[in-house]
A = this chain, B = another copy of it.
Amino acid sequence: MSGIEGFHAVIPAGGAGTRLWPLSRTGRPKFLVDMLGSGRTLLQGTVDRLLPLTGPDRLMVVTGRAHRDEVVRQVPELVDGELDQVLAEPSPRDSMAAIGLAAAVLAQRHGPETVLGSFAADHVVDNQDIFERTVAEAVAAAHAGYVVTVGIKAAGPSTAFGYIAEGDQLGVAGAPTARHVTTFTEKPDADTAWTYLATGRYCWNAGMFVVAAGVLLDHLHTQLPTLHDGLRQLAAAWDTPQRDAVLDAVWPTLTRIAIDHAIAEPVAANGGVAVIPGLFGWDDVGDFDSLAALLGAGDPDGPGGDPPRSATLGDDDLVLRIDADDAFVVTTGRAVTVVGLDEAVIVDTPDALLVTTRAHAQKVKTAVDAWRARGATSLL
């Protein structure tokens, strides 16, 4: 396939990834890191996945100023064309400002009918074919005026994701699997997650949104007019010599809000949001438990399976496991020996070592907070 006509992909590349510290650092967050040992960073993997849908001219990254140079180094094709496709934010202003800026710039450059899809820079997908067909359906529904999300089939009652409740079929040509979204819910507790799963009508919110630029900006105009006006003002100046001056004046005034709260939730309540079930493999590489599983650690038949599988990020010849077959080890050059620790997670970097377990993966974030509180800024 030679892409989806007129479709633009936007990759918001932000977030600290503190649950993947010390692999992910403030200066080099997880999307800039080769987290899977594949030879490509998560950002490059995301670009590789979207390029077949867009080609290099219809792909845009929105990132922080501090990361722009590295983004350009990793994805040089984004600055090869006539227009600069790496938008740099002076400071983090949450996902609505990032995606809204992209939408406003695309509307300015290509007109309000332009359909854009937003896909996080640090997720992984494992079936390209299904992914492409899903996005194509989403684009069809977006052309019909909907804000479209892709819902991930829940693999279990996770409390790490928000959930999307599916309603009736949408009935739009080119989007046979599309349904209305009745509600978006925040990350639930475990009991609520079980209840959702039991209904069979909930899927995970992976933060993928596909929408016409003009439709998104109109919703924003209704919900948050000041934010809308600021983004329009920025877009008008973007490809002119006034860009930096307007950015300096306007950017700090923008409301910090997630696109889910700003658009998805209120518009869903009015029937304006659709969902396409995403039946491809998906992972947000959220923490070391998730990363270990992605790299094959542990046993697919559950604890005690024989033999458990090992996973190493780095040179496995440097790793020795004794009574710890399923220990997940990240090494950047030193010999690592693990004796007698099941489900261990060991992340060895040149200046910082983390030792934890897969069950404690979500707590790694608190370690970053604690080092920050100690003033150890070089470790962050």
Chain A residues with a Cβ under 8 A of chain B? 22, 317, 320, 322-323, 327, 334-341, 344, 346, 348, 350-357, 359-360, 363-364, 366-367, 370-371, 374, 376, 379
A344 to B367, CA, bound (A): 17
- Residues on B with beta carbons closer than 8 Å to the beta carbon of A359: 340
Decide: A371 near B335, CB < 8 A? Known: A346-B353, A355-B344, A363-B322: yes
CB of A144, distance to nearest CB on chain B (Å): 48
Taking the closest CB of chain B, its distance from the CB of A116, in whole angstroms, is 39
Q: What chain B residues lie within 8 Å of A353 (beta carbons)?
A: 334-337, 346, 348, 353
A338 cross-chain contacts in B, Cβ below 8 A: 354-356
**A320 to B363 alpha-carbon distance, docked (Å):** 13
The reply to whether A322 and B370 contact each other, CB–CB distance below 8 Å, is yes
A338 to B360, CA, bound (A): 10
Chain A contact residues: over half helix, strand or loop, or mixed?
mixed
Most buried by B among A320, A337, A359: A337
Name the distance in Å between A248's Cβ and chain B's nearest Cβ: 37
Q: A371 and B340: CB pair below 8 A?
A: no
Contacting residues, chain B, for A364 (C-beta < 8 A): 339
**Bound form: Cα–Cα A341–B323 in Å:** 16
Contacts of A336 in B (CB 8 A): 352-353, 355
In the bound complex, CA of A363 to CA of B323 (Å)? 10
Which residue from B335, B340, B363 sits with its C-beta under 8 Å from A339? B363
Indicate if the CB atoms of B363 and A341 lie closer than 8 Å: no
Q: Please measure, in the bound complex, the distance between the C-alpha atom of A30 and the C-alpha atom of B349, giving whole angstroms.
A: 27
How far apart sit A63 and B352, CA to CA, in the bound complex (Å)?
37
Nearest B residue to A345 by beta-carbon distance?
B339
Q: Which of B322, B335, B346 contacts A366 (CB 8 A)?
A: B322
Is B337 within 8 A of A367, CB to CB?
Answer: yes
Report A232 CB to chain B, min CB distance, Å. 45
Name the B residues within 8 Å of A320 (CB-CB).
367, 370-371, 374
The smallest beta-carbon distance between A215 and chain B, in angstroms, is: 44
Residues on B with C-beta less than 8 A from A366 are 322, 339
- Offer 22 A-B interface pairs, CB within 8 angstroms, sorted by A: A320-B367, A320-B371, A320-B374, A322-B363, A322-B366, A323-B360, A323-B363, A327-B355, A334-B352, A336-B355, A337-B352, A337-B355, A337-B356, A337-B367, A338-B355, A339-B354, A339-B356, A339-B357, A339-B367, A340-B356, A344-B355, A346-B353
Assembly CA distance A370 to B344 (angstroms): 20
Bound Cα distance A341, B357 (Å):
7
Q: Which residues of B contact A363 (CB under 8 A)?
A: 322-323, 339-340
When A348-B353, A356-B341 are in contact, do A335 and B370 touch as well, CB less than 8 Å? no
Kindly identify which residue among B22, B327, B337, B370 contacts A354, using a CB–CB cutoff of 8 Å: B337
**A353 to B338 CA separation, bound complex (whole angstroms):** 8
Residue of B at shortest CB range from A369?
B322
A117 to chain B: closest CB distance in Å?
A: 36
Question: Nearest CB to that of A329 among chain B residues?
Answer: B355
Task: Knowing A322-B363, A371-B335 are in contact, say whether A355-B355 is a contact too (CB < 8 A).
Answer: yes
* Nearest opposing residue in chain B for A336, CB measure: B353
A360 in contact with B346 (CB, 8 Å): no
Minimal Cβ-Cβ distance residue in B for A357: B340
Q: Which 9 A-B pairs have the closest CB atoms?
A: A340-B360, A339-B356, A335-B352, A337-B354, A337-B367, A336-B353, A339-B360, A338-B355, A339-B363
Question: Which residue of chain B has its CB nearest to the CB of A346?
Answer: B355
